[in-house]
Amino acid sequence: MIRIDEIWLATEPMDMRAGPDTALARVVKVFGEARPHAAYLFANKRGNRMKVLIHDGLGIWLCSRRLHQGRFSWTETWRGDRIALTPEQLQALVQGLPWQRMGDAGVITVV
């Protein structure tokens, strides 16, 4: 499978019509580079769609996810233009759960 060592979340929305080249250009603009074995997450303005660009060391993968109800629990832009996530936080995020409450090893840190 694809090895992912780093997970980065962008706080500014992205147009979900973006293809692999546009998404890669956005990663370079926001994060400065596309590092091997890293995943970069973007949401649309409404927060119900997400695109993930993964650089596997040989090429890039672009996948998307859409919630039919509700929104992804994204982050506020005041925290910066990008945020690092843990694998546990990513699992909560893609399920539409409030990932900000997840600490290391799934420990809830905020009520």
Domain that holds residue 21: 6-106
What is the domain count for the chain? 1
Mean pLDDT over residues 96-111, rounded?
A: 67
Domain-located, residue 111: no
Q: Which residues pair with 41 in a beta bridge?
A: 9, 52
Residues near 26 by Cβ (< 8 Å), separated by ≥ 6? 10, 14, 18, 42
pTM of the model: 0.82
Mind listing the pLDDT tens digit for each residue in 1-12? 789 999 999 988
Helices (H) and strands (E) in the chain, counts: 2, 5
Rounded Cα gap, residues 37 and 34, in angstroms: 9
